[in-house]
Amino acid sequence: MTDIETIHTVADLRARVRGWRAAGEHVALVPTMGALHAGHVALMEAARRHAERIVVSIFVNPTQFAPTEDLARYPRTLDADRQKAAAAGVAVAFVPDVTEMYPDGFATTISLAGPALGLETDFRPTHFAGVATVVAKLFSQVAPDVALFGEKDYQQLAVVTRMARDLDLPVEVIGVATVREPDGLALSSRNVYLAAEERRTAPMLFRALTDAAQAIRSGTPVAEAVEIAREKVRAAGFVLDYLDARHAATLAPVSGRHDGPIRLLVAARLGATRLIDNIPVG
């Protein structure tokens, strides 16, 4: 069995990274919540192109879940995760417990605007404050040269990129293209929640986005293409949170297709499972 060093404390992690630095090595961070799949492995493979040493963090971060969300049942598969990370050439799995990340008296949260406004925030109002705070902590704990995030969570990637720039964090944030199942469904740890019939419906989300992008490229007004896609998603049996067209870089609303690069983003629920996806129009 391939194995990997697993570190549980910030002090041990810093000591290990110090050793790498002393040897002149570069360090990449891949933050995850575990239940690793081929999407995560793509982040690790991209990381290998930037650094000799890769740290994968595996931490189901409670502060980004609302009390009504799936923190308790979020899939936890640490042994399999460690094997997948080892096979992908990762040096260290950083697996802190909740008290290591949030010691007694923890009282600091990052406040966000810009790309954090709207979309996910309309439905998960405290989510990105939790994400940004834990990611800022991970950046400080690992002090990586680069950190890799999936485009699957496109708004998260935009929020973290903005935060690193705004706070002058000395790390390059790199986005990695979404890895999909053959039928188009974006890989996600939460896909395991889907019942068989829901799994057959799930790729409709990607299809609705793809059709809308094609329509916009062919001259259909953005608002009309978006409305048709919303109807398709609802007709397939989803409860739609949002499906919208935004500026690809800032995530500000767009008024027309000549506004610059556009990203289509969707979040919708199938039974108890909430799925997100996004694609570029251009």
Ligand X SMILES: Nc1ncnc2c1ncn2[C@@H]1O[C@H](COP(=O)(O)OP(=O)(O)OP(=O)(O)O)[C@@H](O)[C@H]1O
Ligand Y SMILES: CC(C)(CO)[C@@H](O)C(=O)[O-]
- Of the candidates 8, 26, 40, 127, the residue annotated as catalytic is 40
Per the listing, tokens 């916009």 go with 216
Give the total of residues touching ligand BAL (CB under 6 A). Answer: 3
Answer yes or no: is 255 a known binding residue. Answer: no
CB of 266 within 8 A of CB of 205? yes
Shortest spacing between CB 29 and ligand Y, in angstroms: 10
> Contact letters (x/-) for ligand BAL, 163-202, by CB under 6 A?
----------------------------------------
Instruction: Find the binder of ligand BAL among 63, 64, 133, 178 (CB under 6 A).
Output: 64
Quick check: helix, strand or coil at residue 119? coil
Shortest spacing between CB 121 and ligand Y, in angstroms: 14
> Contact letters (x/-) for ligand X, 14-43, by CB under 6 A?
------------------xx-----xx-xx
Please report which helix (H) or strand (E) contains residue 162, including its range: helix 154-166
Residue in 141, 58, 53 with CA at minimum distance from that of residue 97: 58
What is the maximum alpha-carbon separation in the chain?
Answer: 58
The span of 82-90, 100-108, 188-196, 252-260 binding ligand X (CB under 6 A) equals 188-196
Half-sphere exposure of 96 (CA within 13 A, CB side): 23
Quick check: helix, strand or coil at residue 150? strand
Q: From the CB of residue 12, how many other CB atoms can be counted at a distance below 10 Å?
A: 14
Number of residues that make up the chain: 282
Instruction: Specify whether 258 is catalytic.
Output: no
Strands (E), the chain: 5-7, 27-32, 53-58, 92-94, 146-150, 172-176, 239-247, 262-270, 273-280
> Which of residues 156 and 161 has its CB atom nearest to ligand BAL in the complex?
156
Binding residues for ligand Y, rule: CB under 6 A, are: 31-33, 61, 64, 131, 134-135, 153, 156
Answer yes or no: is 263 a known binding residue. Answer: no
Residue 23 burial (CB < 10 Å; 0-12/13-18/19+)?
Answer: exposed
82 binds ligand X (CB under 6 A): no
End-to-end CA distance of the chain: 44
What separation in angstroms does the CA of 9 have from each of 102, 162, 239, 263? 12, 28, 41, 39
Q: Which of residues 123-152 bind ligand X (CB under 6 A)?
A: 149-150, 152
Q: Which two tokens stand for residue 68?
A: 């009504």
Cβ-proximal residue to ligand X, closest one:
150
Shortest spacing between CB 93 and ligand BAL, in angstroms: 18
Q: Which two tokens stand for residue 71?
A: 């923190």
153 binds ligand X (CB under 6 A): yes
> Which of residues 77 and 220 has its CB atom nearest to ligand BAL in the complex?
77
153 binds ligand BAL (CB under 6 A): yes
Task: Residue 134: name its binding partner from ligand Y, ligand BAL, ligand X, none (Cβ under 5 to 8 Å by kind).
Answer: ligand Y
Active site residues: 40
Residues in binding site: 33-40, 64, 150-153, 156, 179, 187-190
Binding site for ligand X (CB under 6 A): 32-33, 39-40, 42-43, 149-150, 152-153, 176, 178-179, 186-190
Binding site for ligand BAL (CB under 6 A): 64, 153, 156
